[in-house]
A and B are shown apart, each in its own frame.
Chain A
């Protein structure tokens, strides 16, 4: 059953995972699409496809990386899904080059979902169908939610990578971090776990310790707010 598959995927992605390799494949099982790709995009984690079901999906993302335009960029920049159910009859003027480069013999519909955590832009999920296809409201909501979960998983994996050790939060810092978590969750109206991740992500992105970021939050030097393009810093 579709719904069971969705719930299962939500559950699987909510638990700590080592990789998101299999995510693209589960997305094609859940939604009426031919293929899917999960990619990190932008300055934060670089442009890289983490999971793709097939060459077409991988190439679609590759193309968008190279051109710097396309639905996945739009999705990430606006923080909203980009739905192109019929590429055969409509042309999106926002990405003229990508639109021209697109091979319509292989792709009839394209759906991009932003992967963000707090103010951090992680990447996007691209789903394509070989023929024009409508994505239902429910499917759109489900895919959006999954993109958020995948974003968290990817961020956790990136932050846990043994390249640096900014996580040495001594006992001293913990209280501060918990208090800062409370402030961020109130600033953004998000759950505590997510607020911690925003602090962690900010620390990771700026190469600082969580404690020093937490200190800035408590002193009021750093705050977060919800802006037009998602969550942003307010200094």
Chain B
């Protein structure tokens, strides 16, 4: 592809899948994979923001990767996981889309309020499904109303499947681990990253949100996983 050529809308999608599948084959850290996935979904699916939530042992959904670490987005997704499209999608195993007209169900009012305050006009929750089991949700938030186009629906479904595969397959070649164990591992990794954000925030007198960017940039430039870098920061064997 050269600069003069106009990029076909599906090129980006193709590149994303090439990147993700390559990662799956080469070996990866699950949180990093999910992070790449949500980041890519912004351009591929025209999402303003996106987040992946995974179920813990009590089937409570926790945010594992999101396009922004801002408190408001995190809160919006967490509310959605309590009463909103996210939990609805998780429980029903179906894609749940909601936009500002017609209005969302009354008991989703807290979610609708936060979402509209953040400028989101439609939300689409895609279940991460493995046969009969739903292990989490892939959430897309857009600043435009309306449903996902057919093409986007297919892409969103496929991205959700890549996320599911990524979670299910991690380490399964080396160790026999159950899906539940892999889920736990992903959630634990996220805890470690959160703690590392605190360490960097403290050392540099910056916000945890800014600390995330620092950790991510360091991991990328050193070709390390975020969980690896985070573990080093917490053990105080790594500092930057």
Residues of A within 8 A of B (CB): 171-172, 174-175, 178-187, 189, 192, 218
Contact A179 B82 (CB under 8 A): no
Interface residues on B, range: 20 to 34
Q: Which residues of A contact B63 (CB under 8 A)?
A: 175
Contact B198 A182 (CB under 8 A): yes
Please, which residue of chain B has its CB at the minimum distance from the CB of A181?
B195
The 3 closest A-B pairs by CB, nearest first: A182-B198, A178-B194, A182-B195
Chain B, range 205-240, C-beta contacts under 8 Å to A: 208, 233-234, 236
Please, which residue of chain A has its CB at the minimum distance from the CB of B204?
A186
Q: Is B178 interfacial (CB-CB < 8 Å)?
A: no
A-B interface contact total, Cβ < 8 Å: 61
Contact A178 B198 (CB under 8 A): yes
A187 to B199 alpha-carbon distance, docked (Å): 8
Closest CB of chain A to B235's CB: distance in Å?
Answer: 8
Contact A171 B62 (CB under 8 A): yes
Chain B, range 139-184, C-beta contacts under 8 Å to A: none
Given contact pairs A171-B78, A187-B202, A182 touches B236 in the complex (Cβ within 8 A): no
Please, which residue of chain A has its CB at the minimum distance from the CB of B234?
A192
Given contact pairs A182-B194, A185-B234, A192-B234, A174 touches B201 in the complex (Cβ within 8 A): no
A106 to B208 alpha-carbon distance, docked (Å): 57
Q: Is B203 interfacial (CB-CB < 8 Å)?
A: yes
Contact A182 B62 (CB under 8 A): no
Given contact pairs A186-B198, A186-B203, A178 touches B191 in the complex (Cβ within 8 A): yes
B79-114 contact mask (Cβ, 8 Å, vs A): 1 or 0: 001100000000000000000000000000000000
Contact among B74, B195, B201, B208 for A192, CB-based, below 8 A: B195
Q: Which residues of B contact A185 (CB under 8 A)?
A: 195, 198-199, 234
Please, which residue of chain B has its CB at the minimum distance from the CB of A175?
B194
